[in-house]
Amino acid sequence: PHFLYNTMETIYWKVMEAAKGYCPANQMIENLSDILHYSLSEGEDLVRLQDELRIAEKYIQIQKMRFGDFFEVVCDKEDGCMDVRVPKLFLQPLIENAIQHGLLARSEMKQAGKIKLRVRNLGDEVLICVMDNGVGISGGRLSELRILLEEGKTGEGHIGLFNTNLRVRLHFGEPYGIKIYSKSDLGTVIKIRVPKGIV
């Protein structure tokens, strides 16, 4: 980790020197450094949802710099949910799927690309949703994904989706995990419930 942190710091200053000042690439390096530090930091694999959302925002900023502002991200969160514990970096692969398989897969978007992160208080649980208005998933493929997720298996493609499902189940048990809903040309919704009270 120290080698990686020091290398990122050196790249940051080399970019400053080449650009003769702070530039968008510096912001990208800062965001990547924060994600790197977060992912490599020692401690529990479970983190506060508030911290996970903060790192997800840094990931989104990097993606916007890569692909431009063809999509927007909205975060809609209820009070009383931010201290719930979630697996570290579990949101990033879900957001990446929404961008790669949802928004970028649609060559001609009829409307602006949109990803919505929604957090809802369900009493003893918290519901976390990642929604997009991308191409969606065909009925046959959706059925296949649901079966694989329910059985806790992996399949071809969508590795981040399957790994996230397995991590959620590992921490919280089989009643938990990913539920997926989708309609072709309308978009996809990923829902994850996590229990409160996990320290």
Q: What is the pLDDT of residue 33?
A: 92
CB 108 within 8 A of CB 176: no
Q: What is the pLDDT of residue 125?
A: 95
The region that residue 72 occupies, defined by phi over 0 for left and psi between -120 and 50 for alpha, beta otherwise, is beta
- Closest-CA residue to 198 (of 49, 68, 23, 52): 49
Q: Which pLDDT score, from 0 to 100, does residue 167 have? A: 93
Unique residue bearing structure tokens 């071809």: 156
Q: What is the structure's pLDDT at 172?
A: 94
pLDDT of residue 107: 63
Q: What is the pLDDT of residue 110?
A: 64
Mean pLDDT by 10 residues, the chain (199 residues): 86 92 92 91 86 96 87 92 95 94 76 91 95 93 91 76 93 92 94 88
